Structure 1
């Protein structure tokens, strides 16, 4: 069997892999760290002994309003640092204004060391201005206005309610004016019931104003979102590429998921399918299309990420894809292995397959039967039954999938060649449903695997064996099963002679397996003795890995990112 990694060694001579003009990415990153450092320095200076009353370095009673304002400024700079790291032009403009104001403020308060640091940051910002070219969300200004009006109005109401308690003898008009200026960071001048209430009210108003400003700034600096929208022409072009080159990658067909965008090479002979989540442009699998045209598609994808300041990342790429991506500055880390069963050598005979054979025989004795059909050959009533059963067998509230799941059972018009295996018990009741998407003309890739909880132990093994036997007659030569994360660790971690680091990593994964199906997926695949095809995650910098991992978990529906109410943030789109 030829693995995906073989394509690199058999690449035709003379295929050019031109690289993008790589920006000096260290400049925005360095500036972002300088801004973070100056923010922390300002915080420590404000909180240092001597800035509060006697009794501790963080006593803010004597100058609470000033402290709250300083902390808000430091938080704003940390927020701006994130935008600067993404090379956001709008973040650069805001940072320039904030740092310039910080220089003047610290000179006025005679904090010359902090002012000097701010001045250095200001000079570096001006010097590196050409590096900050990433665009902002087109409608983020509208979002910021919404956030400002909602939070500002709420803060104003909350401030008036507080002032009515702490300064009840002040006129209502005076309270309105002083609360407004209190939200801006000025100490309120009202007839308070007690002198201590003046400082408390000032701190509360300053905090409310700071949160309003910070949330407004966050809305202004929000990464550009891109909705997963494809035209009918894009869809057809993708299907044409799959028809010609779909055999290259077992994950290729999953580019047709409706939650993925697509970008084509200039020649139209290759494409990258991806999704934008939290400022990460997350692709999955290899580019679709002619291997010689992959560089053009990768260049187009990276150029778009560069334009909007997205972090590029790829999950589940093959060795061939990882090597091409490396030419464009993306490093690779082995994520795990894909289990691929070669039907030419697959048999239930022999000692190695004893476990699978026993499971299959157990189901045969129980009267189980399995039928395998193309989706287009099934009656609508049967498709409806299979869809309802798959939904009932899922056992989870959300449908998971992004890189290795289609999640579109029953859509005959979109996926006529989807292969479905239906397993029924002796009474004719449906107990398992398996779905496989096409992998070129001679392969299948697992999409769906669901079984009833009360079904016979070994139902899945029975279904896989029956699918392998039935699809040989269709000309199928290989079947891709589940993906085993960190498969090599499980395979080698428990062996004699494993090093201390590998043994420790093995123990950690065993602990994680209590909550996630990590080891169990490996064991479930290993029993078929498949060919293990390595898959990688590609990334620009090691510091980007946490963001890429979070985006991948969100795409697979394992985590949900908190969002503002829909009516507060910009409309979907650029």
Structure 2
């Protein structure tokens, strides 16, 4: 595939010309839908021997179709290019034949103008053909066919049923009513048809038209939709990623989360680096920094971007560090600060001082209540004990949705995750009351993965467990701990200061409002009490206009929108590889 950056200028300009033509036609159709005089002129030229330019037919339906075509062409879809070339080519042939049959220039000047526009559009398509190489999903034709059949049946049933409720419909046979709906669907006429012996209310004609246009748009979308990207981590991929993490895992605290089995991976040509991602709603969303040797990162990023262009996916990165963001930026991505990660250096942590008074008092209060904490690697936990912890973790989860993606492993108790660290908090009677699970961050670091606690237990258990881990970190060779990620941390911190500007204060107020449901501010405050080092994290994107789409995809994978049910993932491979893969398929279908 020829990249857009390397394509000849004439091809790029031709491709943009075709896209802008479709956009202009969409605007003209929309204007015709609200302007009676312009609509009448367009309809006049669409009757008899006159022709209007390609897709200029006036009305909301043609405007919607043109918009959809423009969007798909803008995403460099090969199927959309073929469809536009065939449709506009047929119209071009029709105009040429008409002009040959009626050569009078004065009478058919409008057709000559239409011919000129068509030649420009078809020429732009032909010259820019190498720009439209994005592949569609192989199942698109089948899906489009079933959508057409299903939509046609629904339209036929609804139209025939509505006709049966009218006096005119009851006077005709069922076959006549069905024939009327079919003819209406094929012609999409704007006025009530008088071809049959009975008059039909205009409302029924409009209803059938709306249903037909909806079916047409759904079929068009089904034909042009991007592949879903469901090549999840294979056992071989996971093995290669683990080898890279052994050598380079200390570079990024989010590195171990690349082993989520609902992610896909693409390696650099040398195999020394990889980008892990997930495709949601046409967005190829990578998380964290690339895995592996930093010298090989550009090769992996280029492979990932090339794959995104090949399938018309929007490339984006969430949770990249400053170092990773710089490398991504060299490949044409812009950066926007997303928030900060709280990192505690064990050697620098202390409970002394007035700033730590609240944490210190909470730790002492919980300790006096008789709570104790056990710190173990997952590999040191017996299978029966792990099953008990899994049962409690499921019971204590806040809601049915497992939130987190960029900083969550999505499973618990998998035998391959033996180096993860489990903190178990027991009350004075020896009952398990809370769990914390951390994934490895290189050889001497941990990154928080899972937090669970009994809601009937005392407050302050999480603070107590975190402090216990930090104080006993050297027992398991840990020098630094990554805690939760605080989204828009700088806004909360600076927005509450004296002298903060009106925009910053307003933005903080918006975040505080949404924190009622998504705990944005509470996560920041929960992390800030440990006086951590704040490491900024970034979201990277190719075009600013894609940010709403990227934000929606990110909210989906993180569990804030269209939240999937993920209880099976917590049980890891103990449910069997086949069952796990089937569960992942269902989850991602729900998200998409």
> Does TM, normalized by the shorter one, top 0.5?
yes
1:309–1:214 CA distance, 2 compared to 1 (3 A)? same
State the shift of 1:192 in Å: 5.3
Aligned to 2:338: 335
2:237 to 222, 234, 239: 234
1:87 to 57, 76, 96: 76
1:370–1:155 CA distance, 2 compared to 1 (3 A)? same
1:499 to 498, 501, 507: 501
Distance 1:123 1:173 in 2: 46
Helix, strand or coil at the partner of 1:349 = coil
1:191–1:525 CA distance, 2 compared to 1 (3 A)? same
Distance 2:492 2:328 in 1: 28
State the shift of 1:46 in Å: 3.9
User: Matches of residues 106-505 of structure 1 in structure 2 within 5 Å?
Assistant: 121-164=121-164, 165=166, 166-187=168-189, 188-191=193-196, 193=198, 195=199, 197=200, 199-411=202-414, 413-505=415-507
Aligned to 1:5: none
Aligned to 1:41: 28
**CA deviation digits over 1:438-462, x for unaligned, max 9?**
0010000000112222222211110
CA contact (8 A) 1:69 1:210 kept: no
Aligned to 2:53: none
TM-score (norm 2): 0.83
Distance 1:72 1:468 in 2: 63
**CA deviation digits over 1:67-107, x for unaligned, max 9?**
998432221111112211211011122234555678889x9
Distance 1:119 1:492 in 2: 58
Q: Greater shift after overlay, 216-225 or 41-50? A: 41-50
Helix, strand or coil at the partner of 1:537 = strand
1:26–1:474 CA distance, 2 compared to 1 (3 A)? farther
Helix, strand or coil at the partner of 1:453 = coil
Residue correspondences, number: 531
Helix, strand or coil at the partner of 2:63 = helix
Distance 1:185 1:427 in 2: 78
1:271–1:405 CA distance, 2 compared to 1 (3 A)? same
1:102–1:369 CA distance, 2 compared to 1 (3 A)? farther
Distance 1:295 1:533 in 2: 23
Alpha-carbon RMSD across the aligned residues, in angstroms, is 3.0
User: More helix by proportion, 1 or 2?
Assistant: 2
1:73 to 52, 62, 68: 62
1:35–1:118 CA distance, 2 compared to 1 (3 A)? farther
Helix, strand or coil at the partner of 1:267 = coil
State the shift of 1:490 in Å: 1.5
Distance 1:35 1:52 in 2: 18
1:408–1:38 CA distance, 2 compared to 1 (3 A)? same
Distance 1:26 1:513 in 2: 46
1:28–1:470 CA distance, 2 compared to 1 (3 A)? farther
Aligned to 2:52: none
Aligned to 1:9: none
**CA deviation digits over 1:360-402, x for unaligned, max 9?**
0010111111111111111222212211111111121111121
Structure 1 unaligned regions, length at least 5: 1-18, 54-66
Structure 2 unaligned regions, length at least 5: 41-55, 99-107, 565-584
